[in-house]
Amino acid sequence: MTSHQDTVKKLKAGLTDFAGIDLNTHPLMVRLEDNAILLEGTVENIRQKKKALFIAQGLEGTSGVIDRLRVIPSTQMGDKEIAAHIRDAFTQEQTLDASMITTEITEGVVDIEGQVASLTHKRIAGVLTWWVPGVTEVINSLEVTPPEKDNESEITDAVRIILEKDRLVDESSIKVTTEGWVVRLSGAVKSEEQKEAAENDAWYVWGVNDVINEVEVVSSP
């Protein structure tokens, strides 16, 4: 077996064991192109996508990752409809200057460009885009002006803000910490849906490498 074949074999094992991707149900294209790993195909959710990329980036002897993974949209939408939803979301978000942000959309893949005032605003814009049901991928190309140095406290603050904005989640019952760019969620919610929504929100935040979801589901008496 060549080293390239061995690399692909290790990656496919990680996609199944670590990312939880059923390659029979969701077959992915996995190959090396000029020593970079190409990942192409469709996965069930943002968690699987980010875990797959994290695994690929950690493989030795490769120069990078070509990301062509897409997430199955919860609702099928045309690009014009997606654009309208994003425009409304940005306009209604009082902390964003929607006039400074543009989007390019191709078959559900959204590239956000322009300028924002902080890393927090960059992350909010990214999550608001992910929340649009027809979106399959978000490329967050927003430039922070003036530039800011990122840190784990910024990640924690951004996740908390997003949880506050999510009407599906009671953020007051969830604790957020970040270490090594890994977000840990703890606390208690009333349903599996709320627990899953909180985890997805954390995964959507730009810069998060992993999410440990220790939130408990506690039924009402």
| Residues pairing with 221 in the sheet | none
* Count of other CB atoms within 10 angstroms of residue 56: 24
Whether 188 contacts 215, CB under 8 Å: yes
**Separation between Cα atoms, residue 59 and residue 6, nearest integer Å:** 11
Considering the four listed CATH numbers 3.40.50.460, 3.30.300.130, 3.40.50.11600, 3.90.600.10, the one that applies to the domain covering 79-144 is 3.30.300.130
Per-residue confidence (pLDDT) for residue 220, from 0 to 100 = 63
Task: Provide the token pair at 183.
Answer: 């977000």
Query: In sequence order, what DSSP letters do the residues of 97-165 get, joined into one string?
Result: -GGGEEEEEETTEEEEEEEESSHHHHHHHHHHHHTSTT--EEEE-PEESS-----HHHHHHHHHHHHHH
Assigned architecture for domain 152-217? 2-Layer Sandwich (3.30)
Q: Provide the 10 A C-beta neighbour count for residue 182.
A: 15
* Sign of the CA dihedral running 185, 188, 189, 190: positive
pLDDT of residue 62: 87
Fold of the 3-71 domain: Alpha-Beta Plaits (3.30.70)
In the chain, what are the domain boundaries? 3-71, 79-144, 152-217
Instruction: Please list the pLDDT of the chain residue by residue as tens digits (221 residues).
Output: 457 788 889 999 999 999 999 999 999 999 998 889 999 999 999 999 999 999 999 888 888 999 999 999 999 999 999 999 999 999 999 999 999 999 999 999 999 999 999 999 999 999 999 999 999 999 999 999 999 999 999 999 999 999 999 999 999 999 999 999 999 999 999 999 999 999 999 999 999 999 999 999 997 65
User: Closest Cα to residue 205, out of 149, 170, 166?
Assistant: 166
CA–CA distance from 166 to each of 32, 103, 215 (Å)? 39, 22, 16
pTM: 0.93
Give every CB contact of residue 65 below 8 A, 6+ residues apart in sequence.
36, 37, 38, 39, 53, 56, 57
